[in-house]
Amino acid sequence: MATENDPRRRLLEAIAWNVDRLINLDISGYGVIGELYRAACDHYGGPLTLKAAERLRAELTPGTHFIVTCGWLMPGFYPYGETDGPVGAATLGRALALGLGARMLVVTEAEMAPIVTATCRAAGLNVMTEASLAAAPRPPHPGNPYCVVLPFPIGEAEGRQEALRIFERYTPKAVLAIEKNGPNAEGRYCMVDGSDNSDCVIKAGLLFEEAARRGIFTVGIGDRGNEIGFGAIAGVPRRLLPHGPAATDATVVDLLITAAVSNWGASGIAAVLAVLLARPELMHDTATESRMLEACIAAGGVDGFSCRPIPVTDGMPAEAHVAVAALLNTLARAPAATQPSIFATPLIDLA
């Protein structure tokens, strides 16, 4: 195992720091992600994407399950949900299936299930339901990169019962949230403007309560502060957001990944995992990035800013997200480290 002073370890950390910086670049100009990222680094230590990739590698083995909850239904535009979240889930599901042989369980609203299904298929994952698994003549092939979409009830009592069932049946080794509405200090699930969204979203915080009881590794990925994962640094979004006290999530997780767009947080983990495993293909290419966004829109996804079914996420056009994917691919391949020349990095001796 590489030590702190090992040249390859220093190179890995340098790449991961660059990944962190890229995914936290405030391209939209919203004005909060820089401070949220600094607070997360101060609390957890950085680089955050490397911490996530290493812990997931340690927890997940072939055939094991992990939960991703995503999907943000838009009040007033029901039953449509935003594109930020499903693309990230598909990204992680793909990377962890191909790299570690793990199986993703996507927990979301019933209305979001078609959107998540289409996006995951666009990423190259086969999508199963519990009914299709039960009806299959034999278990899925070990080489079958698949995920399972699990619609979750809206009510808290029903959700608590379903969470227990999922944990008992699948014994997940990690639980992650990507752009998923989290409960504030009063237990309400609010939009960033402070309006209560509790009547139409699943109580995804229940999954993290159960994971904490069982000692299961938890990750929150978010870009504003009202998503699951911000509990440990809740004072920062409470201060930064115009409706901070109502909008700030109170869920404490083992690791928070901040990103200017939550989907980018998932891509950042995939890119660093690609470096960690020397498998650059685990970071999806730009064609896949475009395909996922297009499939998400076609199945009912909308841009979270305009709430329109256009190829935009968080107000930024597809070109911006494709560009981030292109840069992450370049980082995952670290040309100065992998192509010996007079320009090769002094961090490592390639001779």
Answer yes or no: is pLDDT of 131 > 50. Answer: yes
Q: Residue 82 in contact with residue 296, Cβ under 8 Å? A: no
**Top-level CATH class of 13-334?**
alpha beta
Residue 1 banded pLDDT, cuts 50, 70, 90: very low
d(CA 159, CA 186): 18
Neighbouring C-beta atoms of residue 342, cutoff 10 Å: 4
SS (H, E, C) 61-72: CCCCEEEEEECC
Q: What is the mean pLDDT of residues 176-203?
A: 96
Q: Residue 257 in contact with residue 232, Cβ under 8 Å? A: no
Q: What is the mean pLDDT of residues 214-235?
A: 98
Percent of the chain scored above 70 by pLDDT? Answer: 97
Q: Residue 320 in contact with residue 92, Cβ under 8 Å? A: no
One-letter amino acid at 32 equals V
Residue 347 banded pLDDT, cuts 50, 70, 90: confident
d(CA 325, CA 291): 12
Q: Residue 248 in contact with residue 242, Cβ under 8 Å? A: no
**pLDDT computed for residue 12 by the predictor:** 93
Answer yes or no: is pLDDT of 345 > 90. Answer: no
Backbone angles phi, psi at 293, to 5 degrees: -65, -45
Q: Who contacts 331 (Cβ-Cβ below 8 Å, separation ≥6)?
A: 15, 18, 19, 22, 271, 275
Residue 4 banded pLDDT, cuts 50, 70, 90: low
Q: Residue 127 in contact with residue 149, Cβ under 8 Å? A: yes
Answer yes or no: is pLDDT of 351 > 60. Answer: no
Q: What is the mean pLDDT of residues 278-292?
A: 97
pTM beyond cutoff 0.85: yes
Pairing of strands 316-317, 312-313: antiparallel
One-letter amino acid at 41 equals C
pLDDT digits (tens, 9 = 90+) for 286-328: 999 999 999 999 999 999 999 999 999 999 999 999 999 999 9
Residue at token pair 């309560």 = 209
d(CA 125, CA 123): 6
Two tokens at 6?
Answer: 């090992």
